Amino acid sequence: MQKTLFLILAIGFAICVIAQNTLAQNRQDWHLRHLPDGVRARIGKGEIKGKIAISDDGKRLAVASGIGIWIYDTKTDEALDLIAGHTHWVISVAFSPDGSLLASGSVDNTVRLWDAHTGTERHTMQGHNGSIIDVAFSPDGSLLASAGEDGTIRLWDVETGTHLRTLIGHLRFVYCVAFSPDGKILASGGEDKTIQFWDVETGESIRVLAAHKGGVRSIAFSPDGKTLASGSRDETVRLWNVQTGEELRKMKGHTNAVASVVFSPDGQILASGSWDYSIRLWDVQTGKPMRVLSGHTYGRVNVLFSPDGKTLMSSSEDDTVRLWDAETGEELRKMVTHTQDFRSIAFSPDGKTLAGATGDNAVHLWDVQTCALLRTLKGHTKSVNDVAFSPDGRILASGSYDATVSLWDIKTGAALPALPGETFGFIRVAFSPDSKRLAAVDRGSYVYLWDMRTGLRINRMKAHNADSIAFSPDGSLLASGGYDDTAQTWDGHTGAPLLTLEKPLYSVTFSPDGKIAASAAQGSTILLWDAVSGEPIRTIEADWRSIYSIAFSPDGKILAHGSNDGFVVLSDVHTGKHLRILEAHRGRVGPQSVVFSPDGKILASSNGGIVYLWNLTVDNMD
């Protein structure tokens, strides 16, 4: 008997260890999950693009992002799952009342139903002719309502995914929908400044409320169903009598559009989140403000209460989810942090590290092999726009809107003396091949040239609306390109002007041998020109809009370019033939967002809080 008991305990212990190890492994391999074809790994979780939702038991939080729906454990803050399947950003999510299902709405014009525990897709519902801005389950979980940019509301059968009826009455975008607690009324708010009540059984309009002076962005029923709260672009929060449609109160305090409203479970408190980055708590009985919660730094703020009402959760476009004590207003912690949009990426000279400039005023360093975050460099006071490694591998430079170029010791991460600008923030930085000079472009189209040995400025040149800067491989030339139909070249040592090309050229870069310069021209065309004479060599035509980022492969045979449509294209430099089109990004691939690794085996491309690392081989170039 004792031996049997010991055996059972040993087996149980082994199973627990295996389960824990498996869970730990799953938590460490998010960079390998749901990858597009040809991608070896992903850095980042995608920007937080929309709403958050909490399960009925309060244990799971769903976060809408640029690559799917992230599920987090609300106690440990660990990512439990990534639910992927939408072909564009997810902007709305909702758990079913029993927590078994998850609904999502996306910019891909579809509504989808998922098993909330396994992430398996149950149904894809199509019919809207625009993005799905909000989704909501009926209290019994049998119906799902979706609100769309097409100005319609659709009701769906949750069990079968069948479309039941379309509610038409709003004149423009429908931003929000909510069922009354008894499930008999559906409320909706739209860009046409109205709130509308609908009979769920018949689909008929019951009442239209039209007191807001701006689009209605969020609505919520009180737990007893007697009151409706609304938040609007007119910066007000309003309370309405559901039975009569009478406006009960108008609460003022926000200084920008109100993005989200939610009642506490006991109905005593109303929370509102705004584009002014703040959260406000209101006494429902009196309409008086209770407190203001500050912490978010960017974009619209969405709010929800935990099921027990003790915690308030908020998300915003600063790519954080924060937890607050609902009674005291104290910020408890940042539960979730996603990487903000990448402004620039760069490989270290040895190819082992990738640096990213992001909108959170910091520079992040990742291990290319494991995709683990190595270090975050903080010091800038505004968004960082560009990063560049010195060719000798000793220094990282970052240019920011705070009008400084910061220098960092790569080995230690220590900040070195910064290089100051004069008035405008810096948007591009570049080292000379010998690491002895640094060039930068600011928003005023001034090109700066510094001596890295002394830290002294060599020259400051006025350029034509410059947005890019690059040294030739031998360091003798410095090229700038801009949006005003002009590219320029300068002496790479002194900054003396050399050539001015009256062509629409930007995102200028040199081939590895320094003979060819490439730049975007006329939106969807790449121009290759002789770096010395300025004479055109050939053009590479594209069928996509606005090429922003261009990079030569280390051997000079391939040109990679990213577009406004989200494509990354690899073209043969000598023939102009497109070798491969990489489709993964869901939005603009911006300047300095496509780079080759030093050995040419990896291409990194960034957009929307994501860096994709692509495998490059001869076999996959066809």
Q: Could you tell me the mean pLDDT of each successive run of 10 residues in the chain, 622 residues long?
A: 45 39 51 90 92 96 95 96 94 97 97 97 97 98 97 98 96 96 98 97 96 97 98 98 96 97 98 97 96 94 97 95 96 92 93 92 94 94 94 96 95 93 89 97 92 95 85 93 77 92 74 89 78 86 74 95 85 91 83 91 92 80 55
Residue whose tokens read 């002009």: 486
Residue 296 in any domain: the answer is no
186: its two tokens: 């559906």
Residue 545's CB is within 10 A of a number of other CB atoms, namely 13
- CATH number of residue 589's parent domain: 2.40.10
Instruction: Calculate the dihedral angle through the C-alpha atoms of 250, 255, 258, 263, rounding to the nearest 10 degrees.
Output: -60
Q: Amino acid identity of 166?
A: T
Are 372 and 424 in the same domain?
yes
CA-to-CA distance for 226 and 206, rounded, in angstroms?
15
Q: Rounded to 5 degrees, what are φ and ψ at 421? A: -95, -160
Q: Residue 312 is which amino acid?
A: L
Buried b (16+ CB within 10 A) or exposed e, 256-282: ebbbbbbbbeebebbbbbbbbbbbbbb
One domain, residues 367 and 505: yes
Query: Both 436 and 553 in a single domain?
Result: no
**529 and 557 both lie in a single domain:** no
449 and 477 in one domain? Answer: yes
Helix (H, G, I), strand (E, B) or coil at 505: coil
CA 394 to chain centre: 31
Residue with tokens 């926000």: 254
- DSSP per residue over 362-374, as a string? EEEEEETTT--EE
Alpha-carbon dihedral 452, 454, 456, 459, rounded to 10 degrees: -50
| 471, containing H or E segment | strand 466-471
Number of structural domains in the chain? 2
Q: Which residues of 87-116 are buried (b: 16+ CB within 10 A; e: fewer)?
A: ebbbbbbbbbbebebbbbbbbbbbbbbbeb
Which amino acid, residue 598? P
pLDDT at 544: 64
Residues 379 and 498 reside in one and the same domain: yes
Domain that residue 568 falls in: 542-622
Q: What pLDDT score was predicted for residue 75?
A: 95
In a domain, 256, yes or no: no
Distance, CA of 242 to chain centre: 37
- Please indicate, yes or no, whether residues 477 and 506 belong to a single structural domain of this protein: yes
The 3-state DSSP class for residue 39 equals strand
* Same-domain check for residues 513 and 464: yes
Answer whether 149's CB lies under 8 Å from 127's CB.
no
State how far the alpha carbon of 309 is from the alpha carbons of 57, 152, 463, in Å: 12, 33, 57
Q: What is the pLDDT of residue 9?
A: 39
Classify residue 22 as exposed, middle or buried by CB count within 10 Å of its CB (0-12, 13-18, 19+): exposed
**3 state DSSP class of 260:** strand
CATH number at residue 462: 2.130.10.10
Rounded to whole angstroms, the Cα distance separating 232 from 214 reads: 6
In a domain, 454, yes or no: yes
User: Is position 396 within any domain?
Assistant: yes
Q: Do the domain assignments include residue 349?
A: yes
Rounded Cα–Cα distance for residues 402 and 390 (Å): 21
Task: Tell which of 486, 514, 540 closes a domain.
Answer: 540
**Token code pair at residue 367:** 């291990």
**Amino acid in position 191:** E
* pLDDT (0 to 100) of residue 17: 36
Instruction: Specify whether 565 is located in the same domain as 520.
Output: no
Whether the CB-CB separation of 263 and 223 falls below 8 Å is answered with: yes
Beta bridge mates, 329: none
Secondary structure class of 454 (helix, strand, coil): coil
612 lies in the same domain as 519? no
In a domain, residue 59? The reply is: no
Indicate the residue among 480, 507, 540 that finishes a domain: 540
556 within domain boundaries:
yes
CA distances from 475 to 108, 255, 320, 442 (A): 46, 51, 42, 21
- Token pair in block for residue 600: 């040419």
On whether the CB atoms of residues 394 and 410 are closer than 8 A, the answer is yes
Note whether 377 and 407 are same-domain residues: yes
| Structure confidence at residue 185 (pLDDT) | 98
Contact indicator for 70, 79 with CB cutoff of 8 Å: yes
pLDDT of residue 13: 40
What proportions of the chain, in percent to the nearest 5, are helix, strand and coil?
Answer: 5, 50, 45
Nearest alpha-carbon partner for 284 in 236, 327, 258, 251 = 251
Report the SS3 class of residue 18.
helix
In contact, 175 and 218? CB cutoff 8 Å: yes
Same domain, 536 and 548: no
> Is residue 324 a part of any domain in this protein?
no
Residue ending a domain, choose from 508, 540, 572: 540
List beta partners, residue 137.
Answer: 144
Calpha distance 221→186 (Å, rounded): 10
